[in-house]
Amino acid sequence: MPIYLDHAATTPLRREALEAMQPWLTEGFGNPSSVHSFGRRARAGLDEAHERVSRSLGVTPREIVFTSGGTEANNLAIKGAAWAGKGRGHRIITSSVEHHSVGHTVRYLEKFGFEVVELPVDRYGRVDPDEVEAAITPKTILVSIMLANNEVGTIQPIAAIAERVRRHRGILFHTDAVQAAAYLEVDVAALGVDMVSIAAHKFEGPKGVGALYVRHGTNVLAQQQGGAQERYRRAGTENVAGAVGLAAALELAVAERPAVAARLRTYRETLVERLRTIEGVQETGHPTERLPGLLSVVAAGLDGNAVTIALDLAGLACSTGSACVSGSGEISHVLAAMGFPEDEAAGALRFSIGRTTTAKEIEEAAGLIAATIESHREAATRLEAQRAAALARPLAAVAPEATSE
């Protein structure tokens, strides 16, 4: 049976979420905006989903906006806040290690006159809260820093950053909690943020649905027009079944979080201890302030894509980093921002453990990973030796000797 260690890319849909969704895929098919009984029933299901998600996050139902996923939630938060605040300023502060749904979005806004400040990170991938405050000017309207990194697992000091941001009036603070929501407590009051993005498929909910928390009173300009859905913040017929599935999966993830996080932390430590014995393998990310089940390493001198493919053929699914860029041949912008040279970053590997992972799978995975890395390293060493030997040999005659006719 193949071993799946790519839960940071997506998670399997859990049975309870599927069962919660099924009635809304069949007899509960009505449009929530319709006034007849079919529509009213769908509206009731959608309203309940708002309530259940709001309880899980400690907010009110009207502060939840359902979206098509984490990418749309990030786009709505950043573009919506930017355009709503354009009259007051144009400066947006973010970090150099954000997910592309944040990084590419702020770069897009630069085309329309917004100024983007991309803050550096330390060698563990952490942003300095004091540098955030130092970057704030009277024209700053938005700060967006992720809660936990999707490639290396580093947790950002969001509460400390929020405290700096709150010293300055009129600045909104958004955090991308897509990778964090399953494993960290997302208490918006404690975090001190105005907007939070989550995605169902990261915590065993369905793909194609996410949510954005928008603090009551926060002005966000809708990025999708055509209807009054989601309190005029996101037009379009709502995905009732998806919203219900997200709500069910999030409730279970929150309830099980302490036990699951503890188990994942143990599994991760088992895996990392084995990999630490392999020459040239280096763990990335913060040593303690990190997601419990995400292990990121670089294997110096190796091609991470080649190792990932070899592991897949051996029955182990993992990745080189973000699922949005894996296989593209690009070097991770996260590792580059953390100071890893290109030859090391090229050997990136990400193993992400989930609730359904077993201890037996971790033991088998440890052996497979070690054997595959060592095999590729031996092959690379042989190839290098062959190249060196070829360069050391005398050059062959470039032309045959002249002969008499």
For residue 189, the Cα-to-chain-centroid distance in whole angstroms is 22
- Cα 239 from Cα 271, distance rounded (Å): 39
- Cα 340 from Cα 212, distance rounded (Å): 33
Active site residue 324: yes
Token couple for 242: 């998806």
Kind plus residue range of the DSSP H or E element containing 313: helix 304-314
What's the first-to-final CA gap in the chain, in angstroms? 72
The DSSP bridge pattern shows strands 210-214 and 64-67 to be antiparallel
Coil, helix or strand at residue 242: helix
Closest CA to 64 of 243, 203, 305, 275: 243
Kind plus residue range of the DSSP H or E element containing 306: helix 304-314
Q: Are 184 and 176 in contact (CB under 8 A)?
A: no
- Range list of β-strands (E), 13-139: 64-67, 91-95, 115-119
- Cα 47 from Cα 32, distance rounded (Å): 9
For residue 277, the Cα-to-chain-centroid distance in whole angstroms is 28
Alpha-carbon separation of residue 71 from 53, 63, 172, 282, 364 (angstroms): 18, 18, 19, 30, 34
Q: Catalytic: which of 262, 324, 383, 385?
A: 324
- Cα 102 from Cα 222, distance rounded (Å): 17
Amino acid identity of residue 208, one-letter, is G
- Cα 405 from Cα 402, distance rounded (Å): 10
Q: Catalytic positions, please?
A: 324
